Amino acid sequence: MSAYIGGIDYYDDVIANFNHFSLPLPSLHKGLSTDPDMVKVIKSKKWDLIYIDGSHDYDIVKSDFLLCGSMLSENGLVILDDSAMNTDFIPPVYASSGHPGPSELAAEIDGTKFKEILSVGHNRVFQKI
């Protein structure tokens, strides 16, 4: 649904940027959120922050949110990328307000379990209650 610059190895790009800024290297895991090995990584501990970005298909975004939300620590944050359609966000001409799948899921989040605390561009941030 989105267009990306071709020829970039995002794994290598992350490593290069961490090295450039003299930051300790992160632990990175390559895979789809639906892959059994990645589900094991997600379920391996409680997380303070999870950024959901990838498939814009509603069913996959919902599955990601349910899995990741269950593994958030108390007061943990989940960021939904591309989820600001049908909000007051008016994107600049070079951007968009998001995609239908993540935006629909964001509108359905149970307010008794998560509260929306911030919107930045087409990203919406929810805190686990």
Q: In what order do the strands lie in the sheet with 123-128?
A: 47-52, 72-80, 123-128, 114-120
Q: Which helix (H) or strand (E) holds 83?
A: none
What are the helix (H) ranges across the chain?
10-20, 36-43, 58-70, 100-108
Report the alpha-carbon distance of residue 9 to residue 96 in Å, rounded.
Answer: 24
- Parse the chain into domains and list their residue ranges: 29-128
Q: Which helix (H) or strand (E) holds 27?
A: none
Alpha carbon distances (Å) from 84 to 18, 28, 57, 114: 29, 27, 15, 17
pLDDT of residue 4: 66
Q: Where does the pLDDT of residue 7 fall: very low under 50, low under 70, confident under 90, or very high at 90 and above?
A: confident
* Number of residues in the chain: 129
Say which CATH superfamily domain 29-128 falls into: Vaccinia Virus protein VP39 (3.40.50.150)
pLDDT of residue 30: 87
- The string of pLDDT tens digits covering residues 42-81 is 999 999 999 999 888 999 999 999 999 999 999 999 999 9
In 3D space, the residue among 122, 51, 54 whose CA is nearest the CA of residue 88 turns out to be 122
Q: Check residue 123 and report its DSSP letter.
A: E
In 3D space, the residue among 85, 31, 30, 90 whose CA is nearest the CA of residue 56 turns out to be 85
